[in-house]
Chains A and B, each alone.
Chain A
Amino acid sequence: MTLFHFFNCAILTFGPHAVYYSATPLSEYDTLGTSVKAAVVYLATALVKLVCLATFLQVSETEVFDPYQEALKAMIGFIDVAGLYFALAQLTHRNISQNHKFQAVGLGWAFADSVLHRLAPLWVGARGLEFTWDYVLQGLEANANLVFTISLAALGSLMWLRKNKPKSLIPIIYTCAMIIATMPSIISYLRRVMGWHFPKVVGFELVTSLVMAVISCQLFVLCQRPSS
């Protein structure tokens, strides 16, 4: 019954993306094109990131947390933000409100990320006879990642697309975006230095993603009020 398990894990990993698309007005306005564009931008960004990682980073033989290396990694991680900026601000999207644009971009982005990073291990690992919780946790991580990406996209659209936002909120927006963008480094720190195990890390990710989602949602609402 291992194919069954694979199926379960796949539902957990990719289901939320589909549900998000069909449940929100994204499906009504047919924003699939935007999502696909975002996914393509993600692919390109991932390629650039790989090249950067390969050129600037040393391979550590041991699983030691090297601050300099990690800082470098975080810097390279900001390429993601640049990619997101490109997808949000530079790319032309037809007939789409700002409100839906960031959701569609975030969704496409997160889905591409899940496919690229999680599908192959899932296919290889979850079909084996041996049972581990790893793939279920990995699915949960994909959920957290979806929430993070959409939050980041929301904050990004606030930063780059909305002109008349309240001045007092700007630092908060930037701080939140920073926190989300440095999330991979924070998680790497927790894992290697604090020695957290996978379940704990995933729990942390889920909680923080929800917190960040609530905060960015509030920020979005607050920014929308004066304009309307």
Chain B
Amino acid sequence: MADDKKSKHRHRSIVFESMYPVLALMLILVACVELCDAATVVDVYRLIQYDISGVPFGSRFSSLNHHAASLSFQRGADLSRSVLILPLRELDIGFVQDYISQKQSLGGLLILLPQTFRPGNVGGGSVISETEGFRKLLAQLEKLLIHGNIPFPVYFAFENEETDAMLADVKKNDALGQQATATTGGYKLVISVSEPRKIASPTITNIQGWLPGSRADGDSNQLPTIAVVASYDTFGAAPALSVGSDSNGSGVVALLEVARLFSVLYSNPKTRGRYNILFALTSGGPYNYEGTQKWLKSLDQRMRESIDYAICLNSVGSWDNELLVHVSKPPDNAYIKQIFEGFSNVAEDLGFQVALKHKKINISNSRVAWEHEQFSRLRVTAATLSELSTPPELLESAGSLSDTRQLVSEDSIIKGVKLVAESLARHIYGHQGKDVKIFADDSSLAVNPFYVRSWLDLLSQTPRVAPFLSKNEPLIMALKKELEDYTAEVSVQHESLDGTFTFYDSTKASLNIYQVASVTFDLLLLLVLGSYLIVLFSFLVITTRGLDDLISLFRRPPSRKVKMA
């Protein structure tokens, strides 16, 4: 029975298939609809487009419809109607710099990145040393593109067989001096997207988790609080690729793991400490830690004053031997001394070093290089743990294209987690200076490397540029849920991003690659076909009616004229 049914079904599908000519006829009627039938479609990611106080930066255009060109054309050729394909492997940074600084016109720029930089690409790819070179080059290129005002569309794509084949073909033609134009044919790259629009009111979302300490008597608000903070959003040349595994995915992972460890400790009344712990995942990190500032200001005055100190985690995923504690109060300050000593004692036991680095804050300067400076401005003691030795510039070290999963080692993060958790625990339980291991490797309180890895992998696949995240973004929901699991009270705060930054949408598109014939070819084909038809006509006339008929066909008009006359 079932078989019978099946065959019936088959027959029906045959009927449909064989109705093709009829359907095709119908299709002619509907053929006004433009059909997209590109041979190759490639995912491309647009360079970010943004304004700072009205000054435009980044790629100012998005749609693309030009022929492809490579760098092997003769220098000085007019490229205003071609898309230049630049593989990172052969990138000449000086050339790009010249092009941008001289404001030369270009139809578009397509930068091909090695597959190693694809977010979520965990291992493999090319040799590490080779990748290291690319990383530096990519960082340079990114800096150039982010801070330039580029009057043509710039896209990033990842190398694959199709793009490689196209590039090889384009290069071959360019080397022959046949630049791709309408008259010579070649490859046409088409990205049809609408004009980029301003993102109306970008929001930044802070997530806060509250782990209350135990009080002997009285209100828990009387207890001192320790804050652990990490900013989770990113900023990079391509918003759709900006995953920031190290900056600041590693900090977020470390924070979650610390929260998990302390939730275990605090779930038992016997081991619940006499400190409240406040965990905060802040947004707006690349923009002078705007989210941190807004979050701090929104905190209850009493709560803010109860904060004993705050530890900010920033880029803790790729260091070997030394981690830096950045502070803005002078190192001889009693609180700073206490924090630093706590860290250095633990670090010594764990077998690495921490160093103190002091940078004064300049209130008149709007630039906030470290997250703890936002705390310091509100007179809360705070320090940033980071592997970076120099304060990053605005929009830098915030999740660039080269900041991928491969760069980050889980071991570094685990060491960082141990450092933070252990020193916090010693502070909370009053074991300063003693060699006690609360989070020993084999105990039930050990750092879980699988947890660290899974979160790191997730964050390394999720672009997190704040203006492009909606309020209910899955990632934000996931982070919130995670904190809900580990803390008693979670609140999510939505704030609008300050007006100085304006962002534009269309970060992702599909590139259609067409192999096109030239107009010359079409003309030639028309000529050939025309002569074929003429020859056919003459042949048929001669064979069926004879040569005289053919000749008389051409003679007739003048004879008519004679008659007319």
Chain A residues proximal to chain B, CB less than 8 Å: 1, 4-5, 7-8, 11-12, 15-16, 19-20, 22-25, 46, 50-51, 53-55, 57-59, 116-117, 119-121, 123-125, 127-132, 136
29 examples of A-B residue contacts, CB within 8 angstroms: A1-B519, A1-B522, A4-B526, A5-B522, A7-B526, A11-B530, A15-B533, A16-B536, A19-B533, A19-B536, A19-B537, A23-B536, A23-B537, A24-B544, A54-B18, A58-B10, A59-B10, A59-B13, A117-B21, A121-B24, A123-B27, A124-B27, A124-B35, A127-B35, A128-B514, A130-B37, A131-B515, A131-B517, A132-B515
| Residues A128 and B533 in contact, CB atoms below 8 Å apart | no
Within 8 A of A (CB), among B183-219: 185, 188, 190
Q: Is B55 an interface residue (CB 8 A)?
A: no
| Residues B35 and A53 in contact, CB atoms below 8 Å apart | no
Q: Please, which residues of chain B bring their CB within 8 A of the CB of A132?
A: 515
| Residues A25 and B522 in contact, CB atoms below 8 Å apart | no
Separation of A129 and B516 alpha carbons in the complex (Å):
6
Picked from B27, B28, B188, B522, the residue with its CB within 8 Å of the CB of A4 is B522
Q: Is B555 an interface residue (CB 8 A)?
A: no
Q: Please, which residues of chain B bring their CB within 8 A of the CB of A22?
A: 537
Query: Min CB distance, A10 to chain B, in Å?
Result: 10
Q: Please, which residues of chain A bring their CB within 8 A of the CB of B533?
A: 11, 15-16, 19
Picked from A1, A5, A24, A53, the residue with its CB within 8 Å of the CB of B14 is A53
Q: Is B175 an interface residue (CB 8 A)?
A: no
Q: Is B334 an interface residue (CB 8 A)?
A: no
Beta-carbon nearest neighbor of B13 in chain A? A59
Chain B residues proximal to chain A, CB less than 8 Å: 7, 10-11, 13-15, 17-19, 21, 24-25, 27-28, 31, 35, 37-39, 182, 185, 188, 190, 512, 514-519, 522, 525-526, 529-530, 532-533, 536-538, 540-541, 544-545
Separation of A124 and B517 alpha carbons in the complex (Å):
17
| Residues B540 and A19 in contact, CB atoms below 8 Å apart | yes
Picked from A8, A51, A119, A129, the residue with its CB within 8 Å of the CB of B514 is A129
| Residues A119 and B516 in contact, CB atoms below 8 Å apart | no
| Residues A136 and B28 in contact, CB atoms below 8 Å apart | no
Q: Please, which residues of chain B bring their CB within 8 A of the CB of A46?
A: 21
Given the known interface contacts A23-B537, A120-B28, the answer about A125 and B522 at a Cβ–Cβ threshold of 8 Å is: no
| Residues A130 and B39 in contact, CB atoms below 8 Å apart | yes
| Residues A23 and B541 in contact, CB atoms below 8 Å apart | yes
Separation of A23 and B31 alpha carbons in the complex (Å):
33
Given the known interface contacts A55-B11, A130-B516, the answer about A116 and B25 at a Cβ–Cβ threshold of 8 Å is: yes
Given the known interface contacts A59-B14, A129-B190, the answer about A4 and B519 at a Cβ–Cβ threshold of 8 Å is: yes
Given the known interface contacts A5-B522, A59-B17, A130-B514, the answer about A23 and B28 at a Cβ–Cβ threshold of 8 Å is: no
Q: Please, which residues of chain A bring their CB within 8 A of the CB of B538?
A: 23
| Residues B185 and A120 in contact, CB atoms below 8 Å apart | no
Query: Min CB distance, B467 to chain A, in Å?
Result: 34
Beta-carbon nearest neighbor of A99 in chain B? B544
Separation of A58 and B11 alpha carbons in the complex (Å):
7
| Residues B28 and A24 in contact, CB atoms below 8 Å apart | no
Q: Please, which residues of chain A bring their CB within 8 A of the CB of B540?
A: 19-20, 23-24
Other than the known A16-B533, A58-B7, A129-B512, what 16 A-B pairs have Cβ atoms closer than 8 Å?
A15-B529, A20-B540, A23-B538, A24-B540, A46-B21, A57-B14, A59-B13, A59-B17, A116-B24, A119-B28, A123-B31, A128-B35, A128-B38, A129-B38, A130-B37, A130-B39
Q: Please, which residues of chain B bring their CB within 8 A of the CB of A59?
A: 10, 13-14, 17
| Residues B18 and A131 in contact, CB atoms below 8 Å apart | no
* Residue of A1, A23, A116, A124 most packed against chain B (CB within 10 A): A23
Q: Please, which residues of chain A bring their CB within 8 A of the CB of B25?
A: 116, 120
Query: Min CB distance, B4 to chain A, in Å?
Result: 14
| Residues B545 and A25 in contact, CB atoms below 8 Å apart | yes
Beta-carbon nearest neighbor of B539 in chain A? A23
Query: Min CB distance, A113 to chain B, in Å?
Result: 9
| Residues A124 and B31 in contact, CB atoms below 8 Å apart | yes
Q: Please, which residues of chain B bring their CB within 8 A of the CB of A54?
A: 11, 14-15, 18
Q: Please, which residues of chain B bring their CB within 8 A of the CB of A116?
A: 21, 24-25
Separation of A13 and B251 alpha carbons in the complex (Å):
66
| Residues B526 and A8 in contact, CB atoms below 8 Å apart | yes
Separation of A100 and B519 alpha carbons in the complex (Å):
41
| Residues A8 and B14 in contact, CB atoms below 8 Å apart | no
Query: Min CB distance, A122 to chain B, in Å?
Result: 10
Separation of A16 and B525 alpha carbons in the complex (Å):
16
Separation of A119 and B22 alpha carbons in the complex (Å):
11
| Residues B10 and A5 in contact, CB atoms below 8 Å apart | no
| Residues A11 and B529 in contact, CB atoms below 8 Å apart | yes
Q: Please, which residues of chain B bring their CB within 8 A of the CB of A131?
A: 185, 514-517
Separation of A145 and B376 alpha carbons in the complex (Å):
86
Q: Please, which residues of chain A bring their CB within 8 A of the CB of B7?
A: 58
| Residues B516 and A120 in contact, CB atoms below 8 Å apart | no
Given the known interface contacts A57-B14, A116-B21, the answer about A130 and B38 at a Cβ–Cβ threshold of 8 Å is: yes
Q: Please, which residues of chain A bring their CB within 8 A of the CB of B530?
A: 11
Q: Please, which residues of chain A bring their CB within 8 A of the CB of B512?
A: 129
Query: Min CB distance, A191 to chain B, in Å?
Result: 18
Picked from B15, B515, B519, B529, the residue with its CB within 8 Å of the CB of A12 is B529
Q: Please, which residues of chain A bring their CB within 8 A of the CB of B526?
A: 4, 7-8, 11
Beta-carbon nearest neighbor of B522 in chain A? A4
Beta-carbon nearest neighbor of A133 in chain B? B517
| Residues B536 and A1 in contact, CB atoms below 8 Å apart | no
Given the known interface contacts A4-B522, A54-B15, A54-B18, the answer about A120 and B24 at a Cβ–Cβ threshold of 8 Å is: yes
Separation of A128 and B15 alpha carbons in the complex (Å):
29
Q: Please, which residues of chain B bring their CB within 8 A of the CB of A51?
A: 15
* Residue of B28, B39, B514, B544 most packed against chain A (CB within 10 A): B544
Beta-carbon nearest neighbor of B37 in chain A? A128
Picked from B37, B38, B185, B525, the residue with its CB within 8 Å of the CB of A136 is B525
| Residues B517 and A5 in contact, CB atoms below 8 Å apart | yes
Separation of A99 and B516 alpha carbons in the complex (Å):
46
Q: Please, which residues of chain B bring their CB within 8 A of the CB of A120?
A: 21, 24-25, 27-28
Q: Please, which residues of chain A bring their CB within 8 A of the CB of B517?
A: 1, 5, 131
* Residue of A8, A51, A58 most packed against chain B (CB within 10 A): A8
| Residues B37 and A125 in contact, CB atoms below 8 Å apart | yes
Separation of A222 and B545 alpha carbons in the complex (Å):
19
Separation of A11 and B529 alpha carbons in the complex (Å):
7
Q: Please, which residues of chain A bring their CB within 8 A of the CB of B544?
A: 23-25
Beta-carbon nearest neighbor of A3 in chain B? B522
Beta-carbon nearest neighbor of A4 in chain B? B522
Query: Min CB distance, B510 to chain A, in Å?
Result: 14
| Residues B182 and A1 in contact, CB atoms below 8 Å apart | yes
Separation of A120 and B30 alpha carbons in the complex (Å):
11
Separation of A4 and B182 alpha carbons in the complex (Å):
13
Q: Please, which residues of chain B bring their CB within 8 A of the CB of A8?
A: 522, 525-526, 529
